[in-house]
Structure 1
């Protein structure tokens, strides 16, 4: 959404007065906005590096969790409750249908 010329003029005056009254705050707010040298919002070098580091950390974490999942032993089978006998498979004599 673009601003009308009058609104742009008012914002420029506010920015100028802020820069005169508190230059340190004005610099901080200008840096915080993330606008590049053309005035367009975008990634600065610091932000791009931070996103790269976060992505690498997430990738390493995902790889470690995947390796842990596939290297974990299978769950042990629990024996049947006591008092019940485990039925052994019956052998079928050879030659009987």
Structure 2
């Protein structure tokens, strides 16, 4: 019984950590916390800041979702934790990213 509990505890910790971990994505935008509301101005400024700070190939695109994107650019990815920092620098915003790149995408 103790072995089962230890194994389940370890698995729970692993999955909790993997949900909160940083990862690379093709697309990100800035949202108002606790809502589904996107802020296009904050997203554009965060994208510009992210590209400068990380010498990244990322650009703001109005189509299709007013997002910061690396889609179609060679060798470009956006780290969601760093993009979250860029969103927070624009005010009370948090990142929302999709199109994960890498393992388990």
TM-score by length of 1: 0.26
Which of the two has greater helix per residue? 1
TM-score by length of 2: 0.24
The structure with the largest alpha-carbon Rg is 1
Which structure ranks higher in relative contact order (CA pairs < 8 Å, sequence separation ≥ 6)? 2
Which of the two has greater strand per residue? 2
